[in-house]
Structure 1
Amino acid sequence: MEKITLIITYYLFLAFNGVLANKHAPETKYPTYKGLIMAGYQGWFRLPENQVMYPNEKEVRIDMWPDVSEYQKTYKTGLKHADGSTARFFNSADKSTVDTHFRWMKEYGVDGVFMQRFFGAARSHGAQSHATNVLKHAFEAASIYDRAIAIMYDLSGLRGKNEDCSTLIEDWKYLVDSLKVTDQKGTKTYLHHNGKPLVAIWGVGFPDRPYNIRNIGLERFIDFLKNDPVYGGCSIMIGVPTFWRDLNADSNHDPYLHELIKQVDIVLPWMVQRFSPLLHNDMDRYRDVILSDIAWCKTYNIDYVPCVYPGFSWHNLSVHEFPDDIKPVGSIPRQGGNFYWQQMSTAIRSGAEMIYVAMFDEVNEGTAIFKVTDNPPVSDVAQFVGIDGKPSDHYLWLTGEAAKMLRKEKPLVFSQPKRG
């Protein structure tokens, strides 16, 4: 008993003298996720040209082409437009590129983004890595343009065998200490929830992953984020399959998933490819899933954020990654924004208090909402999805309109709004 008393006294002494002081800024412009529409931000379209997602004349792994007319710096690709001009692309690691993206968020009313932090980047989080540079630029731009920003750890890349979430614990310390993500210079815009910095962990409960959620230290990582006296005091959002509640269909059948969910603050189901405008009355199914999910979450005092996406296509990616199962072009069509708006309005009408958009910049799976073009390159090895003749900023504008309706700044409408 005397030993326990001495230990408690020691830690109280450290805390009193600031040794164990929490390193997060106590205030932020964004104290809650509620009322916001946040998007995922990949930031992986980086030079050099042999980077997996970067296009060249022989291998193209993207299905949409960005509108690059506003970027300060663009780069030649091996592709040509129909008029013979060289198709140019941006570099996610350029500071000017990230600045342009966050300026668009401000201009169109996109509240902010979750920065994807893949396990591979966390495993080797050195200061010179391209992924880390993207983070640095993003947090600076978020402060300049007053946009909400948060870290989303994506477990993709975790091998499972002899590997666990210890890497993420050390990486979070690195991000807090070296990049000051929760105490950025200038305006503090790190997204909080329930009064605490929000950290997302995505990729929990999917059956196609090489890791078992029971033995990769997830509870230890969650406990660290919640309770560590220096780096903890965080809220947690967990990214799970669409049918996590029933432990069916796209979800692991292991009830341990529910035990993990009950330890966090927000549930985010991944709904990309799970709903389609090509299925009759699929928005009724989408609505019913959201209503039942919200009811489950209320039982356990957990918040809930549905996922929306504008469309989907990974034809060009599948040519190289799945040559025996090549996907069609535009397998989930955008329909000029109608599919996107159906999800937005259905989610809001069903009681969603916050929304997650997949994704801001993901042109490789055709889910991007940033500026894309109807004038992609012509190629013998690739086919691209267009945007149905809409302006390149159409989905940014729709997202801003939805954010106003989510906050009841404008009446909710169920037909896609028209620009004046």
Structure 2
Amino acid sequence: MTSVRPASCLEFTLFAAVLLLSLVSAVLGQPAVDAGSLRGKTLCGYQGWFRCQGDAAGAGWGHWSRDSKQLTPGTLTFEMWPDMTEFPPRECYEVPGFTHADGKQASLFSSDNPGTARRHFEWMRHYGIDGVWLQHFLVDLPGGPFGNRYASRCRVLDHVHRSAEESGRIWAVSFDLAGMPDGQIFEVLTTEWKKLVAQGIT
């Protein structure tokens, strides 16, 4: 069994200045964020790309491991094990072969879980972070090389949308072009954009 040492880790990176502003804001209270403008807002990048065996995506250990079918010391893609103490059992996905120093089973979270997205946004509300830029990866959209991941990608977008509304945070879509063949970018991006507009999302 491999023992892991938990460390605080979110799906986004916060600079020290942002943390300071967040703490000050937390002391002053957390009204709903004005969604009329991005001016003066503190938004973080939110990839929403973590997947686990047993989640709704059925795609294995996506972005946790180099091999989606298994997670081993040799396939880990992250440096710090996330602190899962605030996650209830329904949001924890046990990792075979990994335990904590006290012998307890180690687990990870999936972005394709509405409770986890809600938890992230509640943390943002508590610490005064206004919202997120949700990365919408073109490679995962219809016409992209990994279009089979589109259903999961749409669920994550919906989780973010609902969680932002519930927590009084804001969010915006950030199309990520990485890995997309140049000749397909325009068609895939504009098709998805029109769909989001038709759904009233943007």
**TM-score normalised per structure 2:** 0.69
Partners of 2:177 and 2:185 within 8 A in 1 = no
Cα distance in 2 for residues equivalent to 1:35 and 1:127: 34
Offset of residue 61 of structure 1: 0.7
Cα distance in 2 for residues equivalent to 1:137 and 1:174: 17
Q: Does 2:35 match 1:35?
A: no
Q: Does 2:177 match 1:155?
A: yes
Matches within 5 A, 1:358-373: none
Partners of 1:93 and 1:130 within 8 A in 2 = yes
Partners of 2:138 and 2:185 within 8 A in 1 = no
Offset of residue 92 of structure 1: 0.6
User: Match of 2:95, as an amino acid?
Assistant: T
Offset of residue 127 of structure 1: 9.8
Offset of residue 126 of structure 1: 8.0
Partners of 1:41 and 1:113 within 8 A in 2 = yes
What do residues 320-377 of structure 1 show as CA deviations (whole Å, max 9, x unaligned)?
A: xxxxxxxxxxxxxxxxxxxxxxxxxxxxxxxxxxxxxxxxxxxxxxxxxxxxxxxxxx
Cα distance in 2 for residues equivalent to 1:126 and 1:146: 32
Richer in helix (by share)? 2
Cα distance in 2 for residues equivalent to 1:96 and 1:142: 12
What do residues 24-59 of structure 1 show as CA deviations (whole Å, max 9, x unaligned)?
A: xxxx93222221111000110113363431341241
Partners of 1:46 and 1:130 within 8 A in 2 = no
Q: Match for residue 7 of structure 2?
A: none
User: Match of 1:130, as an amino acid?
Assistant: S
Q: 1:126 to 1:148 in 2, by over 3 A?
A: farther
Q: Does 2:86 match 1:64?
A: no
Cα distance in 1 for residues equivalent to 2:35 and 2:93: 35
Q: Does 2:163 match 1:141?
A: yes
Offset of residue 69 of structure 1: 1.3
Cα distance in 1 for residues equivalent to 2:151 and 2:184: 21
The alignment partner of 2:185 has SS state of coil
Partners of 1:123 and 1:168 within 8 A in 2 = no
Cα distance in 2 for residues equivalent to 1:47 and 1:181: 27
The match for 2:139 among 101, 117, 120 is: 120
Q: Does 2:107 match 1:88?
A: yes
Cα distance in 1 for residues equivalent to 2:78 and 2:190: 32
Offset of residue 173 of structure 1: 1.4
The structure whose Rg is larger is: 1
Q: 1:38 to 1:130 in 2, by over 3 A?
A: same
Q: Does 2:150 match 1:99?
A: no
Partners of 1:37 and 1:111 within 8 A in 2 = yes
Q: Match for residue 194 of structure 2?
A: 173
Q: Match for residue 54 of structure 1?
A: 64
The match for 1:74 among 92, 113, 137 is: 92
User: Match of 2:93, as an amino acid?
Assistant: Y
RMSD: 2.2
Cα distance in 1 for residues equivalent to 2:134 and 2:83: 21
Cα distance in 2 for residues equivalent to 1:76 and 1:127: 22
Partners of 1:127 and 1:133 within 8 A in 2 = no
What do residues 161-201 of structure 1 show as CA deviations (whole Å, max 9, x unaligned)?
A: x42311100001122224x323xxxxxxxxxxxxxxxxxxx
Matches within 5 A, 1:211-230: none
Partners of 1:66 and 1:89 within 8 A in 2 = yes
User: Match of 1:29, as an amino acid?
Assistant: D
**Residue ranges of structure 2 left out of the alignment (5+ in a row):** 1-32, 54-58, 66-70
Partners of 1:45 and 1:54 within 8 A in 2 = yes
Cα distance in 1 for residues equivalent to 2:131 and 2:110: 20
Matched pairs, number: 153
What do residues 214-269 of structure 1 show as CA deviations (whole Å, max 9, x unaligned)?
A: xxxxxxxxxxxxxxxxxxxxxxxxxxxxxxxxxxxxxxxxxxxxxxxxxxxxxxxx
Q: Does 2:154 match 1:132?
A: yes
Offset of residue 82 of structure 1: 1.8
Q: Which has the higher contact order (CA 8 A, sep 6+)?
A: 2
**Residue ranges of structure 1 left out of the alignment (5+ in a row):** 1-27, 183-420
The alignment partner of 2:141 has SS state of helix
Cα distance in 2 for residues equivalent to 1:176 and 1:54: 32
Percentage of pairs with the same residue: 31
Matches within 5 A, 1:217-366: none
